[in-house]
Amino acid sequence: MQDFVSIEGLEVLAVVGIFEWEQEITQPLVIDLKMAWDNRKPAKTGAIEDALDYDAVQKAVTSWITAKTWGLIEDVAEIIATRIMAEFNVSELQVRVAKPTAVKAARTVAVTIHRKREA
């Protein structure tokens, strides 16, 4: 069985959308991350250096999303997955990006992707 570190409900205001008016405002995105990580070593040592630093992950994700404008939430999900795997040495993860304001009659619209580093 594999270990995971999760961040659920990370809210980030972003310029995101395909319509011209959406590129002039910020809208909330809600990010859920489930990242594969062997938690045995940090549990034994108690050292942050051995753990997946979820505070650093959330700060990085927020920075990446707010640094540019986006068209599709699919783009947002792919960038998050690619950069977490590269910058935090995560071998596998699931990323969910929700845009609660996308469809008025729905609670939210979301894209979920699963990525795994190839051996």
Structural domains of the chain, with CATH = 4-116 (3.30.1130.10)
pTM of the predicted structure, to 2 decimals: 0.93
Q: Active site includes 99?
A: yes
Question: Model confidence at 84, in pLDDT bands (50, 70, 90)?
Answer: very high
Instruction: Give the residue among 1, 2, 5 at the shortest CA–CA distance from 84.
Output: 5
Catalytic, out of 41, 59, 99, 104: 99
Looking up tokens 């707010």, which residue turns up?
Answer: 66
> Cβ–Cβ contacts within 10 Å for residue 109, how many?
13
* pLDDT tens string 11-65: 999 999 999 999 999 999 999 999 999 999 999 999 999 999 999 999 999 999 9
